[in-house]
A and B are shown apart, each in its own frame.
Chain A
Amino acid sequence: MRRFLAGFAAVAAALIATTQPAAACAGLIGPNGAVNLLRTTTFAGYHNGVEHYVTSFQFAGGSGQFGSLIPLPGVPDKVEKGGAWTLQRLIRETTPIKGFDSLLIRSAIAAPQGAQVLLEVRIDALDITVLKGGGAEVGQWATEHGFRLPPAAPEVLDFYANRSPIFLAAVFDADAAKARGQRIGDGTPVHVTIPTANPWVPLRILGLGKSADDRIDADVYLLTDQRPALLPYPLGNGMRLDHSAVATTSLLDDLRSDKGMDWVPQTGWLSKIAIDASASQLTYDLAVDAKGSSPSRVAAGLQAPAGQTGSSTGGPANDQIALIGIALAALGAIFLLRKSQPVIG
């Protein structure tokens, strides 16, 4: 059983990508706790039991570092720089006139304590660390490595860790980006490959660090072998199904020709889910059943995993339910300023 998880990437992408103008660099979460997110685009493809997430982090200018934590449905095989046009091509498929958005990431690494570091990768000015641990462990790791997590983080991290103890921490170094010659608006696409049985897309994390009335805009593209079943069904609650149709041959050919995208099948189903919600509306994730039958209520965050009481400190959650979601999206969510930016009263 597998499904795919698209959300993750999408989310992540959203977080990062959304960072825009000036304030962006100050961080997704500024010294006053404000989060500036715009629209993000993420692609999640599921084929042959493997999830492929492609998202992008956009350099918004400024200096310093900011980062994000993203819940993942499973342990990734690879985290690498993504292709150059996958996201843009998807946008063009469903919104022909729309311009291109690029994304990018930056990161910084950290050494784990409690949480186990599974993988460390540097992509351009972005340092990515894949962690395994419970919400408390991952939260502590993040705190010790300079993330300033918003107050909702402890509960939200547990919410995800109860399903999958895998997280991706990304730290974007704006100074390094400038040194590399990256310009504002330049994006760094990231491609995460995750073998998983059940996909899901983290959406709740997009609201992390935001006020209840703040808006969250994100686009999630899903490519599955056949028409997927979604939960909750994109109708109301800030979720909308903007596109659902057999993927065109030209799209699949174009995607397949991008870097790292040779896995794209000859046929497939393309769905586009648009998130246009207030942070208080996003209390769920997007569960996907790639075979079109019954998405998991647990994966959608509508039901706690069996045996979970709601606040755990770690431990592997239900690997079967592998969340596909790479919650990259979360960017928005958990992204926080590094401690170097002081605070408090």
Chain B
Amino acid sequence: MIIRTLVGLALAVLAASACTTASAAQLPTHVGIRIHYSHFDQTKIDVPMGVPVTFTLINDDPIDHEWLIGDEAFHARHRAGTEAVHGDRPNEISLPPFSVRTTTLTFDKPGPLTFICHFPQHEAYGMVGVVMVKP
């Protein structure tokens, strides 16, 4: 419970910073995303291009989720994919129940990237969000 509370506070701080919109230099390099009742608590996030951005992902549910970020071709592959668990790829994070994972990505092109949970029915249930990479 305490851990959850602390994690929640950390996420709140991260979320607050993520919500701040301004120039790329002011965009957050640490982003917290919490999953509860099979929904991401943030679905639109602006991040800077060319700078390492660390994502802290918290699965608050008793079921498995995943956080996969990429372009449409990437998601098309994963919709038909067969990997039960994702490994070392920083843009493919498996999230067991009540787990916290951190990953760092550097985006080299501006534009939108989508993050989705591709477990059966999860995308249709609303587990979709967009990271907008800004120069």
**In the bound complex, do residue A345 and residue B97 qualify as a contact, i.e. CB atoms below 8 Å apart?**
no
- CB proximity to A under 8 Å, residues B77-107: 77-84, 97-98
Select from chain B the residue with minimum beta-carbon distance to A140: B62
B61 at the interface (CB under 8 A from A): yes
B46 at the interface (CB under 8 A from A): no
**In the bound complex, do residue B63 and residue A154 qualify as a contact, i.e. CB atoms below 8 Å apart?**
yes
B47 at the interface (CB under 8 A from A): no
Select from chain A the residue with minimum beta-carbon distance to B84: A342
B119 at the interface (CB under 8 A from A): yes
A150 at the interface (CB under 8 A from B): yes
Given contacts A140-B97, A140-B98, A342-B82, contact A154 B125 (CB under 8 A): no
**In the bound complex, do residue A143 and residue B82 qualify as a contact, i.e. CB atoms below 8 Å apart?**
no
Select from chain B the residue with minimum beta-carbon distance to A136: B62
Select from chain B the residue with minimum beta-carbon distance to A210: B121
A326 CB → nearest B CB, Å: 21
A145 CB → nearest B CB, Å: 12
How many residue pairs between the two chains, A and B, have CB atoms under 8 Å in the bound complex? 81
Q: Which residues of B contact A311 (CB under 8 A)?
A: 36-37
Q: Which residues of A contact B77 (CB under 8 A)?
A: 345
**In the bound complex, do residue B62 and residue A343 qualify as a contact, i.e. CB atoms below 8 Å apart?**
no
A211 at the interface (CB under 8 A from B): yes
Q: Please classify how large the interface on chain B is, using the bins under 10, 10 to 19, 20 to 34, 35 or more.
A: 20 to 34
A152 at the interface (CB under 8 A from B): yes
B69 at the interface (CB under 8 A from A): no
Given contacts A33-B120, A211-B124, contact A345 B64 (CB under 8 A): no
Grouping DSSP codes into helix (H, G, I), strand (E, B) and loop, the B interface class, with mixed when no group exceeds half, is loop
- Alpha-carbon distance A3/B68, docked complex (angstroms): 48
Given contacts A155-B37, A345-B77, contact A143 B64 (CB under 8 A): yes
Q: Which residues of A contact B68 (CB under 8 A)?
A: 345
A194 at the interface (CB under 8 A from B): no
**In the bound complex, do residue B63 and residue A345 qualify as a contact, i.e. CB atoms below 8 Å apart?**
no
**In the bound complex, do residue A151 and residue B81 qualify as a contact, i.e. CB atoms below 8 Å apart?**
no
Q: Which residues of A contact B121 (CB under 8 A)?
A: 33, 150-151, 209
B38 at the interface (CB under 8 A from A): yes
B117 CB → nearest A CB, Å: 8
Given contacts A344-B81, A345-B83, contact A139 B62 (CB under 8 A): yes
- Alpha-carbon distance A142/B61, docked complex (angstroms): 12
B127 at the interface (CB under 8 A from A): yes
Q: Which residues of A contact B63 (CB under 8 A)?
A: 139, 143, 149, 151, 153-154
Given contacts A140-B97, A342-B84, A343-B119, contact A151 B125 (CB under 8 A): yes
A137 at the interface (CB under 8 A from B): yes
**In the bound complex, do residue B61 and residue A139 qualify as a contact, i.e. CB atoms below 8 Å apart?**
yes
Pick from B36, B37, B80, B125: contact of A345, CB under 8 Å: B80
B122 at the interface (CB under 8 A from A): yes
Write the residues of chain A forming the contact surface with B, with a CB cutoff of 8 angstroms.
29, 31-33, 135-140, 142-143, 148-155, 157-158, 209, 211, 311, 339, 342-345
Q: 22 A–B contact pairs at CB < 8 A?
A: A29-B120, A31-B120, A135-B62, A137-B62, A143-B97, A149-B63, A151-B38, A151-B63, A151-B121, A151-B127, A154-B37, A154-B38, A157-B62, A211-B124, A311-B36, A339-B84, A342-B84, A344-B66, A344-B83, A344-B118, A345-B78, A345-B81
Given contacts A143-B97, A154-B62, 20 further A-B contacts (CB under 8 A): A33-B120, A33-B121, A136-B62, A136-B98, A137-B62, A139-B61, A139-B97, A140-B97, A142-B62, A143-B62, A151-B122, A151-B125, A151-B127, A152-B38, A152-B125, A311-B36, A342-B82, A343-B84, A344-B82, A345-B82
